[in-house]
Structure 1
Amino acid sequence: MSTAAMPDLHCVWDIRAELGEGPVWSVHEQALYFVDIVGQAIHRVHPASGARASWPTPQRPGFVTPVSDGTLLCGLKDGLYGLNPASGEFHREVAVEPSLPGNRINDGCVDSKGRLWFGTMDDGESTPSGALYSVTRRKGGLDVLRHDEGYIVTNGPGISPDGRRLYHNHSPAGIIYVFDLADDGALSNRRVFARISDGYPDGVVVDSAGTLWVGVWNGGRIARFGPDGTALPSIPVPGALNVTKVAFGGPDLRTAYITTARKNTPAERLARMPQAGSLFSLSVDVPGQEPVAFPASEFDAMHGMTLERD
């Protein structure tokens, strides 16, 4: 395992989340959202002003993503929920896997066409009952499509800059898969892209050059891979043992925001890592991809109006 020089990490929010996850940048707000799964909360920080806000969730949240009308779409334990940040009110838009009460929704992302991708997992982390889904906005609601299954813990989804590849993790097996992604959202040709042995692959994000940035659970680092699967020097995150995911943000998308977790960190390690579970950042040379918001209406979806409105 090749490791890059110690980065100049900055603690953005010393929140010490039990299971910080799912960072996502809002272009419209110039703010970062992320979740604490175990703490059942959604958090937002505005880096320029330092303003912070939090919303308690009625169930464990797996991800949150901006919607083009200024609201949020959240993956909670049993389904996809809309959240009005002004009121803090949630409403369920669609149930997911109602016949599998032991499952929950985990990580998610929105591709350049405004499709949402997310995975489910066994909350007990022992049964291969998880699956990979996509979501599109249709008249009358959301169209949820199941693409792949047999996962104990799903993580990832990440999309290549050309929109032709989707990366997805089977975390307990240490495997990062890659699929061919068609224009219509069909997935095919699943194959092993890379493996991680020192720790477990968690969330994935892909920068504008096609490099994968993978949080490593129980690994204290961000693993990186080139588009051809070549392992690149990893980036150590000395503040936490469990590194969960990266998101690129800032006005130029050259700030990497890193979520971490305190969960499953031995007490002696926490004594040496008091800020474990906090949100960190570092400056990068290659920017991330332009974030896309999930469409608020069928009209937005049909006309490609997926960027957040002013």
Structure 2
Amino acid sequence: MPGGADVTPESVLSLGATLGEGPVWTGDRLWFVDIKEHRLYRHDPATGMLDMWHAPDQIGWALPTERGDMIAGVKTGLHRFSPETGAFTPLHDPEPTRPGNRLNDAATDPSGRIWLGSMHDEETEASGALYRLDRGHCVHAGLPEVVITNGPAISADGRTLWHTDTLGKTIWRVSVDEDGTLGKPEAFVTIEDGAGYPDGAVIDAEGCLWTGLFGGWGVRRYDPAGKLMVTVKFPVANITKIAFGGPGLCTAYATTARKGLSAAELEQQPLAGDVFAFDAGVSGLPVHAANS
């Protein structure tokens, strides 16, 4: 069975990130960010090389495009990022009237649409929304707004989307029409008290959902019906998201965070903020290039 109690995640990048997030595997490289430190990273596990760029503000994610560059979600809006020059070029601000928000997490579907969420940076107001970016056109996806959006995660056929209300501790499942219109959301999983908060989510090749648990010391795998299948325990409390990479997309890379930990907790968790890896025992899905 994939994952399980016998799986031990190992630190593969000792970074001590304040808020590591947004891991994505593309071009045989692992990309991820440190939101609070405004950093975008690219790691080559084969050579051990680690590149870093400074973003113009808090950066939640970066995803590859059909043009060969990347679209990045920054607090000030969507930017086009060039790995060759390191330049971030403003593209579109989906929330010009919400300066207290920032972009938080995103995923690309098989049609090349980017589904992206925002959140209230101080984590107190329900102003976080889900948006759809399709060929440069960005629209509100129509789901109820929450304090912190996370995920989203997309099925292999692009017809199902999972959307996370982190503070509400609920992952929602919603159908996706061919034109990107969303159906009525249904509760997929609610995380029980004491188990942390659902953070970034991703779907594997068997249609199961993996979610990081912020404050929950682990990653969970749920089957397509929402039944808990596997819990992978970590030596740190705040696991934000995993990405499938490596040969056969069978290695799970997990970002973690030091954010919110006291000095005493940091002393007990010396690996907090590192990037971890473990054998997922199942393949992930390839990342689609964005059409924008």
Same fold (TM > 0.5): yes
How many Å apart are 1:220 and its aligned residue?
A: 0.8
Q: Which residue of 2 aligns with 1:230?
A: 227
Query: Counterpart of 2:184 in 1: which secondary structure?
Result: strand
CA deviation string 1:268-294 (max 9, x = no partner) = 221122111011111122100111111
Amino acid of the structure 2 residue aligned with 1:162: D
Q: Which residue of 2 aligns with 1:150?
A: 145
How many Å apart are 1:6 and its aligned residue?
A: 4.1
Q: Which runs of 5+ in 1 are unaligned?
A: 297-310
Q: Which residue of 1 aligns with 2:245?
A: 249
CA deviation string 1:165-224 (max 9, x = no partner) = 100111001010110111211101211111012210000000010111000000010022
How far apart in 1 are the matches of 2:177 and 2:112?
14
How many Å apart are 1:144 and its aligned residue?
A: 0.5
Query: Counterpart of 1:150 in 2: which secondary structure?
Result: coil
How far apart in 2 are the matches of 1:122 and 1:21?
16
The two structures have a TM-score, normalised by structure 2, of: 0.95
Q: Which residue of 2 aligns with 1:10?
A: 10
More strand by share: 1
Q: Which residue of 2 aligns with 1:21?
A: 21
How far apart in 2 are the matches of 1:9 and 1:128?
34
How many Å apart are 1:109 and its aligned residue?
A: 0.6
Tell me if structure 2 keeps the 8 A contact 1:217–1:244. Answer: yes
How far apart in 1 are the matches of 2:57 and 2:177?
33
Tell me if structure 2 keeps the 8 A contact 1:6–1:236. Answer: no
Alignment of 1:65-76 (within 5 A): 65-76=63-74
RMSD: 1.2
Task: Find out whether 1:295 has 2:291 as its counterpart.
Answer: yes
Q: Which residue of 1 aligns with 2:184?
A: 189
How many Å apart are 1:37 and its aligned residue?
A: 0.5
How far apart in 1 are the matches of 2:175 and 2:153?
12
Tell me if structure 2 keeps the 8 A contact 1:161–1:209. Answer: no
How many Å apart are 1:149 and its aligned residue?
A: 3.2
The two structures have a TM-score, normalised by structure 1, of: 0.90
Which has the higher mean CA deviation after the structures are superposed, 159-168 or 45-54?
Answer: 159-168
Q: Which residue of 2 aligns with 1:216?
A: 213
Tell me if structure 2 keeps the 8 A contact 1:78–1:96. Answer: no
What percent identity do the matched residue pairs reach? Answer: 39
Query: Counterpart of 2:129 in 1: which secondary structure?
Result: strand
How far apart in 1 are the matches of 2:67 and 2:4?
40
How far apart in 2 are the matches of 1:292 and 1:109?
9
Q: Which runs of 5+ in 2 are unaligned?
A: none
Query: Counterpart of 1:100 in 2: which secondary structure?
Result: coil
Tell me if structure 1 keeps the 8 A contact 2:108–2:289. Answer: yes
Q: Once superposed, which parts of structure 1, at least 4 consecutive aligned residues long, lie more than 6 Å away?
A: none
Tell me if structure 2 keeps the 8 A contact 1:129–1:149. Answer: no
